[in-house]
A and B are shown apart, each in its own frame.
Chain A
Amino acid sequence: MKQKLDFESQKKKVSKSSQELSEHFTSDFTLNLELVRKKIGHNSDVNFREFHIGGTGVCAAVIFVDGLSDKELIDKHIMKSLMESFSEKGVISNEFIKNQILSISELTEVHDLNNLVSKVLTGSTALLVDGVPNVIILGTTKGKSRNIEEPVSEVLVRGPRLGFTETLSDNTALLRQHGDNRDLSIINFQVGLRTKKELVIAYIKDIADPDLVEEVKDRIKKINIDDVPESGYVEQLIEDNYLSPFTQVQSTERPDRVFSALMEGRVAILLDGTPFALIVPVTFSMLLHSPEDYYERWLPTSLLRLLRYFAAFISLFGPSFYISFVSFHQGLIPTKLALSIMGTREGVPFPAIIEALIMEVAIEIFREAGLRSPKPIGPTIGIVGGLVIGEAAVQAGIVSPFMVIVMALTAISSFAIPQYSAGITLRMLRFVAMFFAAMYGLYGVVLFFLFVCSHLVKLKSFGVPYISPIVPFRVSDWKKFMVRIPLMMKKRRPR
């Protein structure tokens, strides 16, 4: 919000200054250099190196950013070749330098200061030559990046160990590397008004719906923000319904996941500076599927998938069932079980909802604490939180042991959901479900179910109904949703 306001107030300034800056270069070398110096010369990390072109005495200068550009490349292939004496003392023309001297593959020419600055600041090297109005931009970018590692947030037992990195070109390369696919389109955008950032959308040309691609492009063009630090910003700015608790854009670190989504006709959005790629449109089932489902044989993965749905169900409704059975419908559970639950609740002074709230809030706190704390402390929190407090709470008579079981079960179930964001959604909704259950018992749970479904059937992700594999009712897609059918039976693409 604040950023938006800032942006509003500075909009005018930006447009004014950009007018001033769109100055074209002339053939006057010193003037050109002065122009650049005035704009970015005050930065300590911008290097200006003036020299004479080999044997001719023609002035030239290279401008690059320390650390962003590959110095070795500049030394060997730009400076060295330019400063060597040329055998034929011909005219130092633009073409001559371009075609015969510089041995660098990525080369463009710019005419105005604005373009030069943006190129230099992203790691390219600018070459100014006296008497030439064009500035040559040489691709010498060597950004700081880490090695390609296994993604931390999505762990597979079987599957590629590759994960995206913070470098966009690495990420697009990972997609290309997947195999020769001529229809894979990667289209470039820039987002951010003050800090320009590269963003690409990727799709398979003849599988993805052209309307969908257009829609994605439109929404990305509409992004109106100063800086985009992470793809989460893009996600929030392009999603359909910002009030919905459900994520409408999937984020992933895994290239194989992105690629399989592309093959289903979805569109991927990759942003420079983050390993998290976005996939749109999202359908509900995607949140509960894992790419591994297709790497293992169909029978175990089908069962695991069903298990995951069951886990999601428990994670959402576990405590609310406990509340409604304990405080409303003791008659519906077997008598012996009801008696033993009642027995353990003997000393508990609170109604079931308070009891459940205490434990569920506590586990959320443990989880959050474990997540944010330094790695070595994490297990300690688990032991202190889960074991000590849980045990002590029961002995102190604050909660019943049965409640602790329910709480533990729901917590573990929510970890079984492969998507972190989907897990969060279910965790939030669980509390709503608990209040419904506390008000109306089983009827409340049914109401809540109807309410969530009513929301889901209305929700759309980029024009695609959120729950589309479930409904509209297509038997073939349904099979895929519930179980993972054997690969040789998968011949048709999902529509």
Chain B
Amino acid sequence: MINSSKDRITSSQAVVILVNYILAAGILTLPRLSVEKVKTPDVWISVFLGGLIAMIGGVIIVKLSQQFPGKTFYQYCQEIVGKWVGGFLSLVIVCYFFTISAYEVRTMAEVTGFFLLEGTPTWGIILPFLWVGFYLIIGGINPIARMFEIIFPITIIIFLLVTFMSLGIFEIDNLRPVLGLGILPMLKGIKTATLAFLGPEIMLLLVAFLKQPDKAVKVVLIGISIPLIFYVLTVVMVIGALSVDGVVTRTWPTLDLMRSFEITGLIFERFESLLLVIWIMQIFSTFTITYYAAALGLAQLFKKNIKPFIYGLIPIIYIIAMFPKNINDLFKLGGTIGNVAIFLFGVLPLILLSISRLKGEKHETKSS
């Protein structure tokens, strides 16, 4: 079903998917979350290290997937640890995917409701978003990849434009001193920073779709480097403009950065709308890819057609998205997802990789 030649994606498409998946809520919240932990301007070093850690995790995931060419995690997991454990792990990952997709949708609804549509009920914002996403993923991985390729250049152009416009209020002193309080506070931020790079887990599935699976490691490295640049740039600009103390008090510091300067004489005087536009697109891409990953997981687990699962997941995602009562609940949900992800995608792939290696060796010794 999914292994037909039409459903292949190129390496560059995989990079784009990965970048779009990683870039999501983090752009808006990462500066605050990490500064809360670090409390010094050295956050950007933490973000940098977080990206490196994510790369290591991504490479492990790729190595694991490359052991089973043409198969997604849901298919090979059962081969490694047996039918029941494998099925259970797959289910957990499916749950993870649709929870994160619901989380992204809700975050989007919160921000949009706050900045663009005051008074519009959350369900009113969420529902059309779900339907558009549904319409996209019913077409399979190829349309998704192509869609992301449209979103990607728009994101880069607008993001760079907006970022460089805020250079006017950037003060280098806000970023000094570098490592003034030693390395320790900087290390505290690494976990938060790493969580902003959630996304390489999609390689558990994507490697199976790749035209050239042997390039997957490269895909991961490039695919994480681009968000790394984005994030470091964002953190540097936000802290440089708002200072450490200013960042902590703001819920969406990046948007506040855009609101805090005006360039007169242009059609737009304020640019947070532009940032919001690309940000909504980024959330859309994260939402669709996780939604698809969850549906694909269920379809492969039960060996059925993917369509009924795509239909069936919509109400589930909607209910989970509506579950947090307020924005604090939502951030708590985000934290929980992060903790689960660290186990699922930091530890689990390593274990599975070593098991499969061991099994492989046994197999080889037997056959020889």
| Complex interface residues of chain A between 443 and 484 (CB less than 8 A to chain B) | 443-444, 446-447, 450-451, 453-455, 457-458, 465, 467, 470-473
Q: For chain B, residues 96 to 126, give those with C-beta under 8 angstroms from any C-beta of chain A.
A: 112, 116-117, 120, 125
At the interface, yes or no: A415 with Cβ under 8 Å from chain B?
no
**In the complex, are the beta carbons of A467 and B128 less than 8 A apart?**
no
B132 and A329 contact, CB distance less than 8 A: no
Do A453 and B267 contact each other (CB < 8 Å), given the known contacts A443-B280, A458-B139?
A: no
B13 at the interface (CB under 8 A from A): yes
B273 interface neighbour in A332, A444, A458, A473, Cβ under 8 Å: A332
Contact B120 A440 (CB under 8 A): yes
Stretch binding the partner chain, chosen from B63-71, B144-152, B190-198, B360-368: B144-152
Residues of chain B within 8 A (CB-CB) of A307 are none
Cβ A457 vs Cβ B128 within 8 A? no
Scoring A residues 143 to 171 as 1 if CB is less than 8 Å from chain B, else 0, what string do you get? 00000000000000000000000000000
* Chain A nearest CB, measured from B144 CB (Å): 8
Contacts between the two chains (Cβ within 8 Å), count? 85
B225 at the interface (CB under 8 A from A): no
A454 to chain B, nearest CB (A): 4
Q: Which residues of B contact A440 (CB under 8 A)?
A: 117, 120, 125, 128
Q: Which residue of A lies closest to B150 (CB)?
A: A453
A450 touches B16 (CB 8 A): no
Q: Contact: B117 with A333, CB < 8 Å? A: no
Taking a contact as CB atoms under 8 Å apart, the answer to whether A453 and B116 are in contact is: no
Query: Given known contacts A447-B132, A467-B150, is B12 in contact with A472 (CB within 8 Å)?
Result: yes
B250 at the interface (CB under 8 A from A): no
C-alpha gap A451/B147 in the complex (Å): 10
A458 to B264, CA, bound (A): 41
Does B136 touch A at the CB level, under 8 Å? yes
**Could you tell me if A333 and B268 are in contact, using CB atoms closer than 8 angstroms?**
yes
Residue of B nearest to A454 (CB): B136
Contact of B150 among A329, A443, A447, A457 (CB under 8 A): A457
Please state if B16 and A473 are interface contacts (CB–CB under 8 Å). yes
B16 contact set on A, CB distance < 8 A = 473
Q: Is the CB of B147 within 8 A of A453?
A: yes
Q: Does A328 contact B (CB under 8 A)?
A: yes
Q: Chain A residues near B139 (CB, 8 Å)?
A: 454, 457-458
Q: Smallest distance from the beta carbon of B271 to chain A beta carbons, Å?
A: 9
Asked whether any CB of chain B lies closer than 8 Å to the CB of A116, the reply is no
Q: Is the CB of B269 within 8 A of A333?
A: yes
Residues of chain A with a CB closer than 8 A to B270's CB: 331-332
Q: What is the 8 Å Cβ interface bit string for chain A, positions 309-347, against chain B (1 contact, 0 not)? A: 000000000000000000011011111000000000000
Q: How many interface residues does A have (CB within 8 Å)? A: 28
User: Are B112 and A454 in contact, CB atoms less than 8 angstroms apart?
Assistant: no
CA gap between A442 and B276 in the complex, in Å: 10
Q: How far is the CA of A454 from the CA of B288 in the complex (A)?
A: 11
A333 to chain B: which residues have CB within 8 Å?
267-269
A275 within 8 A of B: no
Q: Confirm or deny: A441 has a beta carbon within 8 angstroms of a beta carbon on chain B.
A: yes
Query: Given known contacts A441-B116, A443-B116, A472-B10, is B269 in contact with A457 (CB within 8 Å)?
Result: no
Q: Mark B7-25, 1 if CB is under 8 A from A, else 0.
A: 0001011001000000000
User: Which residues of B sit under 8 angstroms from A454, Cβ to Cβ?
Assistant: 132, 135-136, 139, 143, 147
Whether A465 contacts B146 in the complex (CB less than 8 A), given A329-B116, A332-B268, A442-B273, comes out as yes
> B183 on the interface (CB 8 Å rule)?
no
Residues of chain B lying within 8 A (CB to CB) of residue A444: 128
| Residues of A contacting B264 in the complex (Cβ-Cβ under 8 angstroms) | 334
Residue B358 lies at the interface, judged by CB distance under 8 Å to chain A: no
For A447, A451, A471, the residue with the greatest tally of chain B CB atoms inside 10 Å of its CB is: A471
> In the complex, which of the residues A441, A453, A467 contacts B117, with contact meaning CB atoms closer than 8 Å?
A441
- Check A442 against B116 for contact (C-beta < 8 Å): yes
> Considering the complex, which residues of chain B in the window 239-275 have a beta carbon less than 8 Å from any beta carbon of chain A?
264, 267-270, 273
Given contacts A332-B268, A440-B125, A467-B150, whether A450 and B132 have CB atoms under 8 Å apart is yes
Cα distance, A411 to B24, chains bound together (Å): 37
Q: Is B340 an interface residue (CB 8 A)?
A: no
What is the 8 Å Cβ interface bit string for chain A, positions 131-148, against chain B (1 contact, 0 not)?
000000000000000000
Residue of chain A at shortest CB distance from B111: A443
Which chain B residues border A329 with CB–CB below 8 Å? 116, 273
Residues in B with CB closer than 8 Å to A335 are 269
* Minimum CB–CB distance for A443 against chain B, Å: 5
Is A472 a contact of B149 with CB atoms below 8 Å? yes
Question: Contact mask A14-57 → B, CB, 8 Å, 1/0?
Answer: 00000000000000000000000000000000000000000000
Could you tell me which residues of chain B, from 1 to 39, have a CB within 8 Å of some CB in chain A?
Answer: 10, 12-13, 16
Q: Kindly identify, within residues 125 to 181 of chain B, every residue whose CB is under 8 Å from any CB belonging to chain A.
A: 125, 128-129, 132, 135-136, 139, 143-147, 149-152
A328 and B116 contact, CB distance less than 8 A: yes
**Chain B residues, Cβ within 8 Å of A328:** 116-117
Residue contact A447 to B146, C-beta cutoff 8 Å? no
When distances are taken between beta carbons in the complex, the residues of chain A under 8 Å from B129 are 447
Report the separation of the CA atoms of residues A443 and B128 in the bound assembly, to the nearest whole angstrom: 10
Give A453's nearest chain B residue, CB to CB.
B150
Q: Which residues 258-308 of B sit at the A interface, judged by CB distance below 8 A?
A: 264, 267-270, 273, 276-277, 280-281, 284
CA distance A471 to B267 in the complex (A): 30
**Residue in A332, A451, A467 whose CB lies within 8 Å of B146:** A467
B139: nearest chain-A partner, CB-CB? A458
> When the two chains form their complex, are residues B284 and A450 in contact, meaning their CB atoms are under 8 A apart?
yes
Cβ-closest chain B residue relative to A451: B132
Pull 18 A–B residue pairs with CB atoms less than 8 Å apart, ordered by A. Answer: A328-B116, A332-B270, A333-B268, A334-B267, A335-B269, A440-B125, A440-B128, A441-B116, A441-B117, A443-B116, A453-B150, A454-B143, A457-B139, A457-B146, A457-B147, A467-B150, A472-B149, A473-B12
Which 8 pairs from chain A and chain B are nearest by CB? A471-B149, A454-B136, A457-B146, A458-B139, A457-B143, A471-B146, A458-B143, A334-B269
Task: Kindly list 13 other residue pairs between chains A and B, CB separation below 8 angstroms, not including A332-B270, A467-B146.
Answer: A331-B270, A333-B268, A440-B120, A441-B116, A447-B132, A453-B150, A457-B146, A458-B143, A470-B150, A472-B10, A472-B13, A473-B13, A473-B16
